[in-house]
Amino acid sequence: MRLMPLPQRQLSCGRLNLDLSIPHVMGILNVTPDSFSDGGKYQHVALAVQHAKEMMAAGASIIDIGGESTRPGASAVAVGEEIDRVIPVVQALSQHDVVISIDTSAPEVIRAAVAAGAHIWNDVRALTRDGALQTAVDLDIPVIVMHMRGEPTTMNDLDHYLDVTQDVITELQQRVDVALAAGIKPEHILIDPGFGFAKNAEQNLKLLHEFDQLNVMGYPIVSALSRKRFIGAVVGGTEAKDRVIGSVAAHLISVQQGACIVRAHDVKETVDALKMWQALQSS
């Protein structure tokens, strides 16, 4: 039987540390023209930085910058273009006391971003790109390993599971084992079950209902379900902006079951909900 590591309580992010004994909100900053919720809103550096500052003021501990949309059916982005979108924003935010995460699968992008001041690699493809594993070892930074099957263009056809929660755990563990074998430090690994990636609405709800089972892996857990389509299927929100309250509720449910980081578009609302939950825990 594999002995699982205990989740670390401090995540080292360069000169900054995150205390993982309390939940953190990761604010989403998409500098893309085609992301499903806010594509095109923050393509200009000044607007992106201003939005990041607003999320920081609202209580975000982490800003997650993405230069490639991974919505279903999204087109691939050239590495050079992704770098051009992301790096100026990283450089501007690196002057502030905030942890910077980069939502990318490209080793070239994360190398450039870390050189510019980024701290965490958030990879929806779980370090499967050529050179990704060695890059993670070389950079020696925290990495979020997410569960997905296929690519954004194919993942909707790959939602066949015997038991979605157990299959996600098994497949995530396989990627974690590969990462460890490559030399990535256990204390640098976080996991994300990948809500909305190769999972239909019913499967996403089951995964959220059984979220606590992910704790068996022994790694800090990231919950990233903000404004996802399955929330709209529940609350009737046909547009992403109509899924705010459902997203906040779902993130709170995931924190109650062990998530230590939630990735959110609606930072203030999420922070307020977590403050209320924390007050009840300490009362």
Q: pLDDT by residue (tens digit) across 98-114?
A: 999 999 999 999 999 99
Res 283: pLDDT: 77
Higher per-residue pLDDT: 44 or 66: 66
Closest by alpha carbon to 228, among 204, 211, 207? 204
**Three-state secondary structure call for residue 120:** strand
Res 136: pLDDT: 98
pLDDT in tens, 1-20: 344 454 567 899 999 999 99
State the catalytic residue, choosing from 227, 228, 229, 243.
228
The domain ranges of the chain are: 10-278
What band does 203 get if pLDDT is binned at 50, 70 and 90? very high
State the catalytic residue, choosing from 125, 199, 227, 263.
263
What band does 36 get if pLDDT is binned at 50, 70 and 90? very low
Higher per-residue pLDDT: 50 or 71: 50
Q: Answer yes or no: 275 catalytic.
A: no
The answer to whether the CB of 36 falls within 8 A of the CB of 68 is: no
Q: Answer yes or no: 263 catalytic.
A: yes
Average predicted confidence (pLDDT) for the chain: 91
Res 2: pLDDT: 43
φ and ψ at 26, to 5 degrees?
A: -100, 110
Euclidean distance between CA atoms 117 and 91, whole angstroms: 6
Res 22: pLDDT: 93
Helical residues (DSSP H) of 20-163, grouped into ranges: 45-58, 79-93, 107-116, 132-139
pLDDT at 43 over 80: no
Indicate the burial class of 156 (C-beta count within 10 angstroms; 0-12, 13-18, 19 or more): middle
Which of the residue ranges 32-46, 102-116, 264-278 would you say has the lowest mean pLDDT?
32-46
State mean pLDDT over 241-269: 96
Euclidean distance between CA atoms 261 and 274, whole angstroms: 11
Res 107: pLDDT: 97
pLDDT at 28 over 90: yes
Q: Which two tokens stand for residue 247?
A: 């997203």
Res 151: pLDDT: 82
Euclidean distance between CA atoms 19 and 32, whole angstroms: 30
For 10-278, the fitting CATH number among 3.20.20.20, 3.90.230.10, 3.10.180.10, 3.90.1150.10 is 3.20.20.20
